[in-house]
Amino acid sequence: MAIKPGLGRKTSNKNPPILSHEFVIQNHADIISCVAMVFVVGLMNESTAAFASAFISLHHNVSGEDPSREQPYGKAYTYIAGIKDYCAIFFYTLTCIIMHAIIQEFVLDKISKKLHLSKFKLARFNESGQLVAFYLLSFVWGAHVLLKEGYLGQVAQLWEGFPDHPMSFLHKFYFVVQLAYYLHMLPELYFQKIKTKEEQQPKIVHSISGFTLIVLAYTLSFQRLALVLLTLHYFSELLSHVFQLIGVFDREERLAKLRVVNNAVFFLIRFATSVIGVLTLYYGIGGVRSLLALGGLIALQGYLVFSFITEQLRAKREAKKEAKREAKLALTKKPAKTPKDKVKRKKESDLPEADQTSPSPIKQKLK
């Protein structure tokens, strides 16, 4: 019995052996969906509900009440960070892998098939397409929580009462999803068949550094500050990858104005991040832990600026080399003879010598 390729990969005429690497890669979304369904079904049984809820529900609530006769609407639950959160991170990592495959299969692959992109542009299109979806969701989600909690209107809430900063449901769930997304990048290297060191290294660094920084902010009670800074950062990254997608379809010359906007937003976000960090960690909270966090934040902003400038200079050098290469090809390439010219010359050769067109005396003298 032949097994058809499932979700999240390209179909092929040959059916790979069951449990082989190719089989797992082609059917990874379906396999992981079955694993996730085990936890969902576990909620329906009383004997396994407690175990399954540790992976699906949020825990470590410190306040809140269910609706009752005395309080028909109940009280909103607030949460703190705890060890059970890593069970939820594992489950939602599986969910991120599934969503990655869905976006790739039903959105990006369908668009790329109509565009007939080169291998380089296809890789950039898939990477930027996935990141645009994540950054857009994270930015809208983070902005919603900021407005709902009032952190933008009352900036003092970022440090007042520290470290007693309980989180609302959406606030805590935001961090769980963030950690799950950065963690899912590692198995995606295997599922996407990324084997070369040049392609693996930036993705591994992106995954581990993002996961580590968010874990530190989450466990050290800097959740409010981290929410503000991540929302700003994702806005900058969203614009950057949107412009990269535009660059896949449009010419580089037309992207000059868009890149100016992208560069300006990037440096404004870095400046705003540094100002908010100094205001919160140095003037608001203080202490050794906050000063260490501030030093790490400033160092991170410096590294991002350095990497950004280096990348811009590298892109300009590559653009100049490409322009020189195209100019050389244009000079060395001879214009091909058209069929009309060949027919015209053949007709002239059939005519008598006196009737054939001869070059003008001026041209002969110039020669």
Model confidence over 239-265: pLDDT tens digits?
Answer: 999 988 888 877 666 677 778 888 999
Alpha-carbon distances of 211 from 3, 169, 176, 204, 233, rounded to whole Å: 36, 20, 11, 11, 15
Question: Does the pLDDT value for residue 52 go beyond 80?
Answer: yes
- pLDDT confidence bin for 336, thresholds 50/70/90: low
Q: 17 lies in a domain?
A: no
Of residues 361 and 291, the one with the higher pLDDT is: 291
Q: Which residue has the tokens 């503000």?
A: 228
Amino acid 340: pLDDT = 54
Q: In which domain, by residue range, is 87 found?
A: 57-327
Q: 115 lies in a domain?
A: yes
Q: 278 lies in a domain?
A: yes
Please give the structure tokens belonging to residue 57.
Answer: 């529900």
Q: 88 lies in a domain?
A: yes
Q: 195 lies in a domain?
A: yes
Please give the structure tokens belonging to residue 276.
Answer: 């908010």
pTM: 0.83
- pLDDT confidence bin for 363, thresholds 50/70/90: very low
Q: Which residues contact 247 (CB under 8 A, 6 or more apart)?
A: 255
Q: 6 lies in a domain?
A: no
Q: 359 lies in a domain?
A: no
Domain count, the chain: 1
Question: Does the pLDDT value for residue 194 go beyond 70?
Answer: yes
Question: Does the pLDDT value for residue 130 go beyond 60?
Answer: yes
Q: 300 lies in a domain?
A: yes
Q: Which residues contact 26 (CB under 8 A, 6 or more apart)?
A: 5, 6, 9, 12, 16
- pLDDT confidence bin for 141, thresholds 50/70/90: very high
